[in-house]
Amino acid sequence: MPISRSVKDALGSSSMIRKMFEEGNLLKKQHGADKVFDFSIGNPDIEPPDAFHRVLLRFAQEDAAGLTKGVHGYMPNPGFPAVRDALAKKASREQGVTLDGSHIIMTVGAAGGLNVVFKTILNPADEVIVPRPYFMEYKSYVGNHEGILREVDSLPDFNLDLDAISKALSEKTAAVLINSPHNPTGRIYPAATLRALAEILEAHGKKTGRYPFLVADEPYREIVYISGGTPPVLAAYRHSISVTSYSKSLSLPGERIGYIAVNPGIQDEEDLLSGLIYATRVLGYVNAPALMQRIVAELTEESVDVGVYARRRDAFKTVLDKAGIPYANPEGAFYLFAKVPPKKGGSTAVTDIVGDDGAFVNHLKQYLILGVPGSGFGKPGWLRFAYCVDETLIRASGEAFKKAMETWV
């Protein structure tokens, strides 16, 4: 076979999602894009903030005037020193610990950052513990570097199940991977939960001699609806690493710009930092895109208007409430994780039913509503709606949801 067996297998299993996209596009062609309630994709539709456009324009003008030199060339693999310094200040504020530029590695988005981290810390067959449901690409990011993703359940409210994590720990555990605010549930892990997790990991490290890293995937850290923001992982646990991007906070997902923040005083700090830089190089990223590095360093106080997402969230909750579809109340990010409702005439004990999410997604499709089955996140019986679409469309979907529920029998 000319292509890799594992890639060939993956193509087979991801063809369902591809088919879903194709069907969605077909529906839009048939009915008009504004008639299809497409909540399937997490592609922020909000434009970057004005400050982004201003900085881009200023840099472009300086370039055109010949005032810059070498700014599109290679810089050290972890990024421009001035950019790393600026982001260290930002990360220090957010994470409650004092970082300097050496603790920041600029990356090709958070996805690039996670691959760099796993390349650096995983030996073959090492395990990374992740709470279910989870963003399915994690399996690839860990598998790319010969690691094994070890899934554990979350609590019914989708907070971390510390007992489940504790039981999954072993000498093969290289890391625990968390994502807060969480895709697909919108859950934000409270500071007390992070502290309790840290105690468990510390105790495990003391006993086995191997302290698991706590890797926090935080691209949604600034999209928050509750007071207090996203509690910092670096302040909670010594051996923690935050990976984030500007894909959501500045609506720049296509520009692939993010960074890794490593906790000062983390175990084997020097080797770890050198390893992350080495991994950035040999994985072929080489460095994060130069122009975007310089731009985000100027925008450490900026983010998109979270109020827009908050209003959409409220509108979507109203729609689902009226339709009688239960969901987890989102505290951050721009996803709503809904439970497949019981069929009319079926049991009303909603909490005991694992509904057929594939069937419900297909049923909704007849009413031109597109979502993603929870099975795609390791959580059958649920489905994800992404509300990074216009509020008008969300409101307009109310009627379609109601009709869909009437015929869900």
Considering only residues 88-117, where is the footprint of its own copies by CB under 8 A? Answer: 108-109, 111-116
Provide the 3-class DSSP secondary structure of residue 382: strand
Quick check: 182 and 159 in contact, CB under 8 A?
Answer: no
Q: How many residues are present in the chain?
A: 409
Angle at 385 between CA 382 and CA 386, to 5 degrees: 145
Write the CA distances from 111 to 35, 137, 138, 244, 395, integer angstroms: 32, 9, 9, 9, 32
Within 13 Å and on the Cβ side, how many CA atoms surround 264?
Answer: 11
274 part of the interface to its own copies, by CB under 8 A: yes
Closest approach of Cβ 350 to its own copies, in Å?
34
**Closer of 153 and 202 to its own copies (Cβ):** 202
13 part of the interface to its own copies, by CB under 8 A: no
Closest approach of Cβ 176 to its own copies, in Å?
14
167 part of the interface to its own copies, by CB under 8 A: no
211 part of the interface to its own copies, by CB under 8 A: yes
Piece of the chain touching its own copies by CB under 8 A; list 150-158, 184-192, 263-271, 323-331: 263-271
Task: Give the contact letters, 31-60, x = binds to its own copies (CB under 8 A), - = no.
Answer: ----------x-xxx-xx----xx-xx-xx
**Closer of 102 and 278 to its own copies (Cβ):** 278
Provide the 3-class DSSP secondary structure of residue 50: helix
| Angle between the N-to-C axes of helices 50-64 and 290-297, in degrees from 0 to 180, rounded to the nearest 10 | 120
* Token representation of residue 352: 């005991």
| Main-chain dihedrals φ then ψ at residue 133, nearest 5 degrees | -70, 165
Among 157, 206, 228, 254, binds its own copies (CB under 8 A): 254
Closest approach of Cβ 299 to its own copies, in Å?
13
* Token representation of residue 394: 């969300």
166 part of the interface to its own copies, by CB under 8 A: no
**CA atoms of 45 and 66, how far apart (whole Å):** 34
**Closer of 55 and 400 to its own copies (Cβ):** 55
206 part of the interface to its own copies, by CB under 8 A: no
